Structure 1
């Protein structure tokens, strides 16, 4: 997941309704592309050993 806020967050075209982020009509292509890329990056689940849906799960035993 990205660490800093993308540029579109400060755009006049960005609407940050809870659960309904979207861009207003007429948003420039660059902003549309950045928004689309950011939203797709949020869907990527990076599972690693010891995680479920990117959340660390402690193993209940010690060796």
Structure 2
């Protein structure tokens, strides 16, 4: 009986460690997603607006175009 209780406690401890590890991994994936969103996706969304304003600042008539 004592051996079974010890084994159960050991399994619970291991399960708790696995849960903590999974939670850390989940947080890393979430932060990676947020960083990817901020550094890659958002600039791609704003690029057409910035490029159109940049090209609108030029007077193509003086360039012969």
Query: Which range, TM-score by smaller chain?
Result: 0.3 to 0.5
By relative contact order (CA 8 Å, sep 6+), the higher-ranking structure is 1
Q: TM-score, structure 2 length as denominator?
A: 0.35
Larger-Rg structure:
2
Q: TM-score, structure 1 length as denominator?
A: 0.35
Greater helix fraction, Structure 1 or Structure 2: 2
